[in-house]
Amino acid sequence: MGESSLFQHFKATFTRYAIILVGLFSLAVLGNIAYQVQLYQQQTEILIAQSVDAYINRETEKNQMLLLQFLENEEVLSDFPLDRQTGLYAKNIMNERLFGVDLFYLRNDQDTTIFESNSSQEDFLAIKPQIKNGSVLEFNGETYLFSRVTTAEADALIGKKLDQQFLDQLHRFLPLSVTNLALSEGHPLSWDQRSFPLDLPGSNVILYLTTQLDIQGYLLQIIPLPILCVLIGAIMIYRMFKKEMALINPFFENTRSALVDIGMGQQPILPDSEVEEANLLYSSVQSLFRQLKEKDTQVKKSHLEMIQLLNAAISTNDAYTNGHSQRVEAIASNFGQAIGYLDPDALAVAARLHDIGKLGIPTNILNKPGKLNEDEFEKIKDHPSKGAEILSRSEFFKEAVPLVRHHHEHWDGSGYPDRLSKNAIPMGAQILALADVYDALTTDRSYRKALTHDEALRIIRDESGSTFNPVLADHFLTFLSNYSLPDSLQKLISA
Residue 435 CA to residue 472 CA, distance in Å, equals 12
CA angle 284, 285, 288 (to 5 degrees): 85
Beta strands in 134-203 (DSSP E): 136-139, 142-150, 154-161, 178-182, 193-199
**Any alpha helices (H) in 72-193, and if so which ranges?**
74-77, 84-94, 121-127, 164-173
Question: Cis bond leading into 81, ω under 30°?
Answer: yes
Q: Which domains does the chain have, with CATH numbers?
A: 5-219 (no CATH), 296-494 (1.10.3210.10)
Cβ atoms of 166 and 160 closer than 8 Å = yes
Question: In this structure, what DSSP letter does residue 71 have?
Answer: H
With b for 16 or more beta-carbon neighbours within 10 A and e for fewer, the 455-482 pattern comes to ebbeebeebbeebbbeebbeebbebbee
Q: Spell out the per-residue pLDDT of the chain, length 495, in tens.
A: 444 455 556 656 766 776 776 677 666 666 666 666 677 677 777 888 888 888 888 888 888 887 777 777 654 444 444 344 455 555 555 554 445 678 888 887 666 777 778 788 888 888 888 888 888 888 888 888 888 888 877 888 888 888 887 888 787 777 777 777 777 776 676 656 677 787 776 666 788 777 776 555 445 555 565 666 666 766 776 677 666 666 665 665 666 666 666 556 555 665 555 445 555 656 666 677 777 777 777 776 676 677 667 666 666 666 666 678 888 988 999 999 999 999 998 999 899 888 888 877 787 777 777 788 888 888 888 889 998 998 888 888 889 999 999 999 999 999 999 999 999 999 999 999 999 999 889 887 766 788 888 899 999 999 999 999 999 999 999 998 875 555 554 554 454
Residue 29 CA to residue 20 CA, distance in Å, equals 14
Helices (H) and strands (E) in the chain, counts: 18, 8
CA distances from 353 to 327, 382, 488 (A): 12, 15, 19
The helix (run of H) or strand (run of E) holding residue 383 is helix 383-391
Cβ atoms of 441 and 409 closer than 8 Å = no
Give tens-digit pLDDT for 29-64: 666 666 666 776 777 778 888 888 888 888 888 888
Cβ atoms of 460 and 473 closer than 8 Å = yes
Cβ atoms of 182 and 206 closer than 8 Å = no
Residue 431 CA to residue 336 CA, distance in Å, equals 7
DSSP line for 8-69: HHHHHHHHHHHHHHHHHHHHHHHHHHHHHHHHHHHHHHHHHHHHHHHHHHHHHHHHHHHHHH
* Distance between start and end Cα atoms, the chain: 68
Cβ atoms of 429 and 423 closer than 8 Å = no
Give tens-digit pLDDT for 157-185: 888 888 887 888 787 777 777 777 777 77
CA distances from 336 to 119, 361, 401, 472, 479 (A): 87, 30, 17, 11, 10
Give tens-digit pLDDT for 202-254: 666 788 777 776 555 445 555 565 666 666 766 776 677 666 666 665 665 66
- Identify the bridge partners of residue 148 per DSSP, sorted by sequence position: 157
3-state DSSP percent of the chain in helix, strand and coil, to 5: 60, 10, 25
Determine if residue 415 is left, alpha or beta; phi over 0 gives left, psi from -120 to 50 gives alpha, anything else beta: beta
Cβ atoms of 384 and 417 closer than 8 Å = yes
